[in-house]
Chains A and B, each alone.
Chain A
Amino acid sequence: MLILAFDTTAAACSVALWRDGIVLQSASAVMEQGQAEALMPMIETVMATANTPYTALDRIAVTIGPGSFTGVRVGLSAARGIAMAADKPVIGVTSLEVLAYAVPDSELPNGPGILVAVDARRGDFFLQKFKADRTPAGEITSLLPEAVAAWAGAGPWIIAGDGAVTIAPVIHARVSTASPRPDTTALAALAAVRVPQIGGPLPLYIHAPSVTMPS
């Protein structure tokens, strides 16, 4: 199965062209913003280097959030646009699932499992617990750091995500060596085994819009 996977939900822009567990081409750049400019040339370079037309793809994979609201929309609108124009299915995967999937087996603790923390950039963090098999052990929540210990309960935990370094001391967790931002190889692997949904994936914001009037 040939999958074009990309992520712009965190402070990076990442693209991979993946076939049955093998990355054919990939590119990634760390950036706080600018994904709306960087993503499409990066996709074009990956596809052109692999000499692959979009019509050859079996599916598009994209992270749907949670993360930066703008980043979520950059990736998802690109994914839905490519999918629509090439008449291919698009699979959405949460950024937290991708981060949990990328944690190496060797790091799994003898305890409840994996905890993923993504900086929500409002002082709080998007959090979710995962079992050792990488399936969610609960819903996604958003909490301030001081509330995380009570929510997490007894460890030990391995923690991943761009909020891991901040949250780890609060719950005495070890920080995973996996990328703190969603890895497109993990994204493609997860998307390969999902069933496409009618109507395509929707963005996952978690937070309601902040209502501020335009000036």
Chain B
Amino acid sequence: MLVLGIETSCDETAAALVEGDGKVLAEVVLSQVAEHRPFGGIVPEIAARSHMAHLDSLIAQVMGDAGVAFKDLTAVAATAGPGLIGGVIVGVMTAKAIAVVHKIPFIAVNHLEGHALTAHFSNGVAFPYLLLLVSGGHCQLLAVEGVGRYRRLGTTIDDAAGEAFDKVAKMIGLGYPGGPALARAAEKGDPKRFPFPRPMKGKPGCDFSFSGLKTAVRMTVEDMGALSDIDVADVAASFQAAIVDAICDRVRRAVEIFPEGRTLVASGGVAANTALREGLTNTCTKAGFAFVAPPVALCTDNAVMIAWAGLARAQKGISDPLDFKPRPRWPLDPTAAPARGAGVKA
């Protein structure tokens, strides 16, 4: 088997080729960060135009790198949601076009399924496992019971974790994208200087909330006026400690609810955060769970995970019709109730 994966749902344009055993033959990711930075956030129309401008040459690149032809493909998989719809459409149309020419299956991949299955392929984690999906667009805890079998245990009811990182980074003048910059600033800061709240801590269930934490940081920053470098570092460290603490508390709840998971997998862009990885490692050790975080390049958006999800579906004989409608919102667990205030993040 040979599956082409395409990812265009946010601000990374990516293509990848994987074989039947999951081996990655070629991959490429083109970040649009520089195009969005002047606006302090992702501008949907700019993202869509950039995907349109670059996707086909990136696909040609991976085909060339792997030394394979389109006629050799078994299936073509593209992120068909959730995400910024203008970009998703570019990836879906390109995939459908390749599929019709070579009469191969088109597979509409849920972007979240890509994140959910990554550790299964990258680290050989067996089903079932507990998944913490933390990114700029999502914050969820899921029971991953098999390919296509996901049960949502908890979700954010307002902001995504990465969104909270970016917004706090903006408040303390760290620019865009703020998450990695905030983590760097936090390295030199005092995590105990500001006792920010740990939202939802101790509450039943596994839902997350970050808006109260964000507001507390904003009020603190506004009270302080001009911030010194030390202030910036201390706010960053105190915020990071609070959000890591809040996330770990929710993970402890999920472990109690889903003990058969045995392994916690962290995925999504925020899973690249070192402090969070340390917190989750400690939490899992105490709970008797293994902790696995895929390599950082497979935690952030990429097309390898889309090709893998496509492969997993192709191996089960699943494909999608050519009239498949790209979905801006597409919950991984269709039975889970929408979380008010979280929009597509739920």
How far is A41 from B99 in the complex, measured between Cα atoms in Å?
12
CB-CB under 8 A from A80, the residues of chain B are 56, 94, 97
Contact A37 B323 (CB under 8 A): yes
Give the dominant DSSP class at B's interface.
helix
Shortest C-beta distance, B191 to chain A (Å), equals 30
Contact A84 B56 (CB under 8 A): yes
CB-CB under 8 A from B45, the residues of chain A are 69, 209-211
CB-CB under 8 A from B84, the residues of chain A are 214
Given the known interface contacts A84-B56, A85-B101, the answer about A77 and B49 at a Cβ–Cβ threshold of 8 Å is: no
Instruction: Please tell me if A178 contacts chain B, counting CB pairs below 8 Å.
Output: no
Shortest C-beta distance, B15 to chain A (Å), equals 11
Contact B100 A36 (CB under 8 A): no
Number of residues from B at the complex interface, CB < 8 A = 40
Instruction: Please tell me if B162 contacts chain A, counting CB pairs below 8 Å.
Output: no
Instruction: Please tell me if A86 contacts chain B, counting CB pairs below 8 Å.
Output: yes
Instruction: Please tell me if A27 contacts chain B, counting CB pairs below 8 Å.
Output: no
Instruction: Please tell me if B53 contacts chain A, counting CB pairs below 8 Å.
Output: yes
Chain A residue with the shortest CB-CB distance to B86? A70
Given the known interface contacts A77-B55, A85-B98, A202-B53, the answer about A40 and B43 at a Cβ–Cβ threshold of 8 Å is: no
- Chain A 41-53 interface mask (CB, 8 Å, partner B; 1/0): 1011001000000
Contact B97 A40 (CB under 8 A): yes
How far is A34 from B95 in the complex, measured between Cα atoms in Å?
17
Chain B residue with the shortest CB-CB distance to A80? B56
How far is A84 from B6 in the complex, measured between Cα atoms in Å?
15
Chain B residue with the shortest CB-CB distance to A86? B101
Contact A81 B97 (CB under 8 A): yes
Contact A203 B324 (CB under 8 A): no
- Chain A 23-63 interface mask (CB, 8 Å, partner B; 1/0): 00000000000101111110110010000001000000000
How far is A39 from B90 in the complex, measured between Cα atoms in Å?
13
Shortest C-beta distance, A46 to chain B (Å), equals 11
Number of residues from A at the complex interface, CB < 8 A = 36
How far is A70 from B52 in the complex, measured between Cα atoms in Å?
10
Chain B residue with the shortest CB-CB distance to A57? B101
Given the known interface contacts A70-B86, A82-B97, the answer about A41 and B44 at a Cβ–Cβ threshold of 8 Å is: no
CB-CB under 8 A from B98, the residues of chain A are 81-82, 84-85
Given the known interface contacts A84-B59, A85-B98, the answer about A203 and B52 at a Cβ–Cβ threshold of 8 Å is: yes
CB-CB under 8 A from A215, the residues of chain B are 343
Other A-B pairs, 15, CB within 8 Å; known A70-B86, A81-B56, A81-B97: A34-B325, A36-B325, A40-B96, A41-B322, A69-B45, A73-B89, A73-B93, A77-B56, A80-B97, A85-B101, A203-B49, A203-B52, A211-B45, A212-B44, A214-B41
| Complex A-B, nearest 9 residue pairs according to Cβ-Cβ distance, in ascending order | A81-B97, A209-B45, A85-B101, A77-B93, A81-B94, A40-B322, A85-B98, A40-B96, A54-B101
Q: Tell me the B residues contacting A by CB distance below 8 Å.
A: 39-46, 48-49, 52-53, 55-56, 59-60, 70, 84-86, 89-98, 100-102, 321-326, 343
